[in-house]
Amino acid sequence: MDRMKGKTCVVTGGARGIGRGIVETLAREGAKRVWALDVNDAGFAELEKAWPNVKGAIVDVTDSASVAAFVGKAGAEDIDVLVNNAGITRDALIQKMQDADWAAVIAVNLTGVFNMTRAVAPLMMEKGSGSIVSISSVVGLDGNIGQSNYAATKGGVVAMTKGWAKEFARKGARVRVNAVSPGYTRTPMLESVPEKVLEPIIAKTPLGRLAEIQDIADAVLFLSSEEAAFITGQVLRVDGGLVL
Ligand SMILES: NC(=O)c1ccc[n+]([C@@H]2O[C@H](COP(=O)([O-])OP(=O)(O)OC[C@H]3O[C@@H](n4cnc5c(N)ncnc54)[C@H](O)[C@@H]3O)[C@@H](O)[C@H]2O)c1
């Protein structure tokens, strides 16, 4: 229960769903501080009450000024772990996908990951160490009907992860960069997906169920921890064997 002992961690989209599970998992593992960043502060009070080492902060990852202001403040504590988790969907078949649907998903899922990493990685490089884990998706690896925008961003996260693993390991720095690619996971995001869509997915998943939030949080914990000290540039699928 001390795999994050002494570490300062930052998790975007930390107020609910997978992000919240990651915040709680890192806090349980003894992190010095876990920052839960979100545009919605609804979960902050409960998190801060349950975990004295958790602090919520309103930061919109699409707003590079707000990201820079936060990192300027928290950076003084040395950020050891960054988890780029914030993400949204605006699904539609391509002929029905509006400019606004495309732009909103790109802004949060792709530009948001870029904004956070651009602000945090130089500090980690200066310090010489750190771990960045971004949440991609099986959709970023395999594609999906009605998710042109989402698939583009999640594939983009994989490409940025691999480039950054090379870029941030220069000049003696050992900043590791990895991604977790969850399968369908029971969170508020999935509430808009009808059961009739989920049933065939469960049926073709060898392990016979959807992912739980803890499945994803445990993979993020592993990649964030010293147990993954020689792992960088990787995409860890956590999907019950959905695509084999
Ligand atoms: N649920 C799934 O099936 C699934 C599968 C694969 C990947 N993912 C990915 O996992 C991540 C978390 O998904 P979830 O299911 O927990 O979603 P969720 O909707 O339950 O939670 C997402 C959180 O991100 C926050 N957020 C949204 N826009 C933001 C912004 N601009 N700045 C900061 N925070 C913002 C939301 O307020 C929310 O608290 C996302 O990147 C998602 O794409 C989810």
Pick the catalytic residue from 35, 150, 168, 184. 150
Write down the pLDDT at residue 222: 98
pLDDT in tens, 172-225: 999 999 999 999 999 988 888 889 989 999 999 999 999 999 999 999 999 999
Closest ligand 1 atom number to CA of residue 138:
6
Write down the pLDDT at residue 75: 64
State mean pLDDT over 60-85.
92
18 Cβ below 6 A of ligand 1: yes
Every domain of the chain and the residues it spans: 8-237
pLDDT in tens, 119-145: 999 999 999 999 999 999 999 999 999
228 CA to centre of ligand 1 in angstroms: 24
The angle subtended at Cα 22 by Cα 108 and Cα 218, nearest 5°, is 120
Helix/strand/coil (H/E/C) assignment for every residue in 124-185: HHHHCEEEEEEECCHHHHHCCCCCHHHHHHHHHHHHHHHHHHHHCCCCCCEEEEEEEEECCE
The CATH architecture assigned to 8-237 reads 3-Layer(aba) Sandwich (3.40)
For 55, residues 6+ apart whose C-beta sits below 8 A from its C-beta are 33, 34, 35, 36, 48
Closest ligand 1 atom number to CA of residue 17:
16
Is 184 marked active-site?
no
Instruction: Tell me the whole-structure pTM to 2 decimals.
Output: 0.98
133 Cβ below 6 A of ligand 1: no
State mean pLDDT over 17-43.
97
CA distance linking residue 13 with residue 17, whole number of Å: 8
211 Cβ below 6 A of ligand 1: no
62 Cβ below 6 A of ligand 1: yes
pLDDT of 35 > 90? The answer is yes
pLDDT band at 76 (very low <50, low <70, confident <90, very high): low
